[in-house]
Every structure is written in structure tokens, then in C-alpha cells.
Structure 1
Amino acid sequence: MARRVLTIADRIEISTGVKPGWEVRKIARHLGRDPGVISREIRRNRNADGTYRAVGADVKAERRRTRPQDAKVASCPVLRARVLADLRQSRTPRQIPGRLRLEAADASVERMPNSLLADGHVASHEAIYQFIYAMPRAELVKHGVFLQSKRTRRHTRPQPGSRTKKAPIVGMTPLSERDLSALERRVPGHWEGDLIIGKNGATCAITLVERMSRYVTILACPMGKDSASIADILIEHTRELPEMMRASLAWDQGSEITRHAALSLATALPVYFADSRSPWQRPSNENTNRLIREYLPKGEAIPAHQPYLRAISSELNERPRATLGYLTPRESFQRLLVGQPHVASTP
């Protein structure tokens, strides 16, 4: 039976079990997997501080699966000598594989002049190109290898329009498909989110605003704008919210939210995307970010100290708002949790 690779859903379950301190065997029984698989997964893909987070672990596992393999041409001395000999004779990386296959299949075919025996070895043109581009330029010159293109490094050909447009986020659901009750602020639990960026783009923090109460949350991002780290932080925060406060999340089309599917899978929180360059579609968040900039001005580094950021959000949540009948966002949020009107009635 084929080996079943751990999925993002499996890693979310592992993360859920690790946080309260479950033993490896208990997590393995819960998932129906061998304890060795779970133990190895946690050991290999945990963070440097020893914590295990689902999205970060999934990214590490994916990178490990796609790591470069041993180059076929470079690892075989016979094949390497033959390819270099043919390249010196101005035979192209596409001609050489065809000739190798012909000689391997038909013993009556003689070796070409100034070529070497391949002993039945074959290689694809891609393997030969990888071999060439991996060699230092000085070594290419030493072996007398010159490609027709005069290039010694690979250049990716840009896709049409890629210079003016960034790649879209996979699986985006437009904000226009969100329930109308969110737009009219009739149901709690609909959030707007964004990043505020620090000096030179090196630091950042997540800002979240609940649309009905204007309740603000600021989350530290010690790993910067890395999408896996952002997803893990949002998953950890969202799981601590009451279920009624997990209706939806609106975000812009920044690359930091590309792992939105993992967030939704782990928390059942649907993520909706505003149109490109349309900040007015997330008005509560944009207005709140301006208030946050009173504490974290542009051009300054944003601290990754969560208590400091929590103190800022606490101050903002204690400012009475006219739109809430001069309740504070904290009071309004607490009223929503117990089913009371979130706006004070005026006498």
C-alpha cells in the first residue's frame, strides 16, 4: 500500500494536540497513524523555539520534498566525460540525449568522432542543461564549453503581463460574495484584517477590527511577512475567539495571506478578498490603522513584543465612539457576546 503523506489537515490536528500537551501516542491514536510518524513530524518540522505550528510545518515539509536531487550527469563519471566531450564538439544539449539513446538501443551505431563511450548511459536534455548551469563559469571555459545562446546561467522567461501584474492568490473568494449582513453590520463576527509595515519593510504586525463593535486586535509577527507564519498566528488567535465571532475575515490581496485556505480549514473562518487597490472596501480596518499609527509611526520599526502591542489595542478599545452611542469598542464587544445591543441607546 502506498505511503500516505501527512496533509495540512493532519498537521492542524497535530498542532491542536501539541498545544495542550498531548503525548505523541495520543495524537497518533487520534489521527490513526503510527506514533513514529507523528514523533518524526514534530521533530523535523517544529520551529527553532520548539513550538509546532501547522502551516509552518507544512511549508518545511514541502520544501524538503522539493529539495534538489543529485544531478544525474555530474554524479556519473562516464556520462559526465561523454557529455563534456560532445559539448566541446559544439553538439547541443538537445542533440546529445538523442544520440545517447540511439547508441544505447542500437549496438550497430558507431561512436561519433571525438566522442567517448557512454556504456549505455542516457540523460535528458534537462539533466544536461542543469549540469551546465551548475558548473562555475571558469570551469566551462576550461572545458571549452560554449552554448549557442552564449549563456552560462538559466534565465526564466517571464509570462505575458507578469512584469506589470503580480500572480493572483489561488482560491480567492471576492468580498462581493460575502453575506450582505456583514456589509450592513447586522451580524457580529465579521472582521477586517491587514498588516502595518515598519521601517524598510523589515517588521510588521497584524491588525484586526470587528466590524460591529470596532474592537481592535494587534498581533505581533516575529517572523515578518512570511505567509506561513502569518497563517499560524491567525489560526492561533482565531481558535481563542468564541464561535459567534468567527463569521468571516476580509483582507486585501497581499502575498502575506496566500495561505488563507489553511486558515479556513483550521478555524472554519472564511476569508474574503477586497479588490486590488480598493482600501475603501475595508473601511473599519483602514481607519483603525490610522489610529494605530499614532503609536507606531511610519518609518519606525514595529516591535514584536505582544504585551506592548496589546497595551496599544487596549487603549484604542477604551476610546468611546460616537457611532456606538459613546460606548467603547470593548463594551460594545462584550455586549455582543451576551446578546445585548452593541450601541448605547440615547436618552
Structure 2
Amino acid sequence: MALFFQIIGSIVVAIILIIVAIYLFIRIKFKSALELTNSESMTPMVVHLNESYDTEWLQEDGSQELSKALVRLGFEKGKVYDVIGMPDVSLQAFFNEGVSAVLYKYPLVGHWVDMVYLGESGEDVTVTNAVSGSEIDSRPECTKVHLTGASVEDLWQRIQTECEGMSSSDITAENFRAFFETAYQKDMAFIANKGGVTRAEFMRVHRNNPVKISDENLEAAFLETKLQEIEQWHEGIFSAHELEDYEREEIYFIVPETAYSRAFLQYLADYDVIPEEAVASLGDKYLNTPVPQIFSEINNGFSEKLRANHVTSVELPLKAAVFSKPYV
């Protein structure tokens, strides 16, 4: 995720993991209806930039300091945007000699700046002073440099060093919005198609937050996070593709090409494809089995007239098959 998702998306992922770690014991102890898997807590598969009519945040001290520093370096101010799909995230674009700088505001983490360079040969370089994001891996073609807390001047010097000798494919005021939205979708597809946040990434996030959690609850938090991802993918697929009778959403479910098997089995139970009591035993049986194979074997175990039917296969926002239940 080199470009914008490495910062916005990974911060949201980190916040989700911390929230899960803090509150998971409530769900475990009280079996409450606490709903962490909701549209506002999940990182969206697609975002859109709308020109913003609320620019009061630019008058805050944190915004003013960073904005003035960018202007001193020769950056020209661009438009201010709201990130639709991420409540409370706002940004302003800046441009200077083939480099785009992005000033962000997100209440939970404050203000920060990305500097982004796009090369003619596909190089994609981001230098940032954000407080989080390094935990999540980037797309192979992307370079990310985290200088947490660094000054705008330090970011400028570092991106010039990183991009020395490259030919720029300019990010301009005219193409910025399309560039941002496209790059974000690529980043999200990269994450999804590798099966979401890996255990190694999850553990890096855990090590970088102050929450103490037992091994048992940490495993449960990982499972909860992976289940949230599948719900996110489910919503992303049905938002991107029109299906006949989609108003009867409860009959449809997805089979991702790659996913954490225990979370996938819980997802199937949540959509009444398999009984809840089967999740634990099937999780042990299929721990290291690819998800499409797991579902094929489960589906073949049903009476022929009760098997789920393949509806379609999709490549975006991730590789997955869509099935419908013959019974509701």
C-alpha cells in the first residue's frame, strides 16, 4: 500500500485492532451484542474525494504550522477534500516539482503530511511523518518511508534523495482526485488478495500499542479482525457489482480466493450456510486448507438440492466467487 492507504488505511486498521483488543473481553465475558463489525469501523474497499465545504480544520494550529512549512518550500495549495467512506478524514493537496504533498486531519491521530512521487516507470514513493502505518506491508512496486514526527523540511529532503535520478509522472491538481481514488483501490485489492492483514502484521500492530492482552484473547482478537475483513469484502463486492435480486441480500455470500479459514467458517455460520456448532470442529479440520477447497467440500456434503449455487466470479475489489443459497 504505498500511497495513501499505507497511512489512512493502516491507521484505521490499527485503531480497529486496538478497539478489538480493548473491548473483546466484553464480548467474551458477557456474550454481548457489542457490534464492532459495522460500516463505520471497517476500512472501505473504495473511497471517493468530495470537495469540502468545511475548511475550519485548516485554521487549527497543527494545520497552520504544516501548511505554512509546505508553502515556504514552494508547494502550491490545491483543493480541500473530504474522504467519503472514512468519516472525519479530511485532506488538502499541495504540488511542487512533480511531488504532491497531502496534509491530513483525523481527530484520533491529529495532523500529518505525506509526500508522494510517481515515476514514469511506475515508481511509487511515499515519505510520511504519520504516527502509524509502518506495520502494514506495501505493494511490491511501492516504497514507503516512515519518519514519524519529522518536520516537513525533513520529508522534502528525504523524498528528493529517494527519487534522485527518476523521471516524474506529475501528480497535478487536475488528476489528483483520480490518482488518489485509483491508488487507494489498488492498495485495498493488494491487501485483500493476499488474504487481508497477515498474522505478522497483526502482531506488529499489537506490539506497537500499549494494550496488554492475554494470548487467548489475542488469538480471539485476530479472529475477530479477520472476520471483519470478510464482512468488509462482502460489502465491497456487493457494492461494486449489481446482482439480480440483491435486495434479498441474505441469500448471497462470498468465497474469497484467500482468507483465514477459521474466520471464513464463522462467516458461513453467520450467513446460515453451516450451523454455528460446526465452526470449531471444521476450523481444526481445515486449518491449513485453501478456502475454495473448504467450501467445495462443505457444499458437496449437502444434499444436491440443498447445495449453494455459483452466481458469478469477480476480480475486483478482490478475487472471489459469489454463491446463493437455495433455501432462505
TM-score, shorter chain, exceeding 0.5 = no
Q: Which protein, 1 or 2, shows the higher relative CO under an 8 Å CA cutoff with sep ≥ 6?
A: 2
TM value normalised by structure 1: 0.27
TM value normalised by structure 2: 0.28
Larger Rg: 1
